């Protein structure tokens, strides 16, 4: 996995109207800015994902705000009501100005 890659696990098919669990894992070092490099003695600059927006059928359904207390390779789990066949999109922003995106399809039938 490369930094910023988002893995998302959703059920392959789901009955329309069901509540389903969504799991995601993002490859990211989540450097707090408080740790020193053992070789140089200098602090490793802060580099974290600070915000996650999640869209279902192009509608914002939630926003998560992360801080330095989130571990490397953050894991996110939540539930949604799968009421239609539509894309589920993750958009993550980090402190270096990078934007990471991942879209998966919710196949509610």
| Each residue's pLDDT tens digit, 42-56 | 999 999 999 999 999
38 burial type by CB count under 10 A (0-12 exposed, 13-18 middle, 19+ buried): exposed
90 burial type by CB count under 10 A (0-12 exposed, 13-18 middle, 19+ buried): buried
The per-residue pLDDT for 43 is 96
How far is CA 107 from its chain centroid?
20
Domains of the chain, earliest start first: 6-106 (2.60.40.10)
Residues 7-24, mean pLDDT to the nearest whole number = 96
The model's pTM: 0.93
| Each residue's pLDDT tens digit, 71-80 | 999 999 999 9
- Cα–Cα distance measured from residue 107 to residue 13, given in angstroms and rounded to the nearest whole number: 5
């Amino acid at each position: 996995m490369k930094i910023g890659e988002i893995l998302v696990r959703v059920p392959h098919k789901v009955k329309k109207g069901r509540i389903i669990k969504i799991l995601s894992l993002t490859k990211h070092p989540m450097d707090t800015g408080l740790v020193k490099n053992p070789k140089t003695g200098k602090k490793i600059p802060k580099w974290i994902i600070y915000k996650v927006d999640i869209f279902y059928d192009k509608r914002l359904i939630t926003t998560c705000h992360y801080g330095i207390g989130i571990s490397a390779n953050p894991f996110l789990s939540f539930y949604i009501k799968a009421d239609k066949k539509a894309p589920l999109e993750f958009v993550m922003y980090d402190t270096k100005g990078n934007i990471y995106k991942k879209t998966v399809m919710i196949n509610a039938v």
